[in-house]
Amino acid sequence: MKPFLPRPGRALCSLGISVFLAACGGGGGGGSSGGSGGGSGGSGSDCCYAYSGILPPAQTGTDPLLAQQWHLKNIGQSGGTPGEDLRAVDAWALGFKGDGVRVAVVDDSIETVHEDLWQNFASSLAAGAFFNYRPGAAPGTQPLPYYLDEDHGTSVAGIITARDDNAAGGAGVAPHAQLAAYNPLAHGANSNADIADALRRDGTATAIYNNSWGSPDNGVLNPAEQSFIDAIEGGIAGGRGGKGSIYVFPAGNGGCYLRNPDHTCAYNENSNLDGYVNKRGVIAVCAVDENGRAPVYAEPGANILVCGPSSNERSGITTTTTRNGYRSDFSGTSAATPMVSGVVALMLQANPNLTWRDVRLILARSARRNDAGDSGWSTNFGLHFNPKYGFGTADAAAAANLARIWTSVGGTTALQKCGPYVRGSGAGPFPIDIPQSSVPNASGAIDSVDASACTLTSIEFVEVRFTATHSYSGDLRIELVSPNGLRSLLADKRLCNLDGDAYADDCGSYSQWPFGSVRHMDEPAAGTWQLRVVDASPDSDQGRWNSWQLTLWGR
Asked whether residue 266 carries a pLDDT value surpassing 90, the answer given is no
pLDDT (tens digit, 9 = 90+) per residue, 30-84? 333 333 333 333 333 355 677 766 788 889 999 999 999 999 999 999 999 999 9
With cut-offs at 50, 70 and 90, classify the pLDDT of residue 258. Answer: low
Q: What is the pTM of this model?
A: 0.91
Average pLDDT across the chain, whole number: 88
Listing DSSP states for 146-215 in one string gives -BTT--HHHHHHHHHHPPSSBSSS---SSTTSEEEEE-TTSTT---HHHHHHHHHTTTTT--EEE--EES
258 touches 283 (CB < 8 A): no
pLDDT in the model for residue 48: 67
The 8-class DSSP code of residue 61 comes to B
Q: Mean pLDDT throughout 303-325?
A: 94
CA 61 vs. chain centroid, Å, equals 33
With cut-offs at 50, 70 and 90, classify the pLDDT of residue 441. Answer: confident
CA-to-CA dists, residue 283 to 172, 247, 278, 286, 390, angstroms = 20, 6, 9, 10, 11
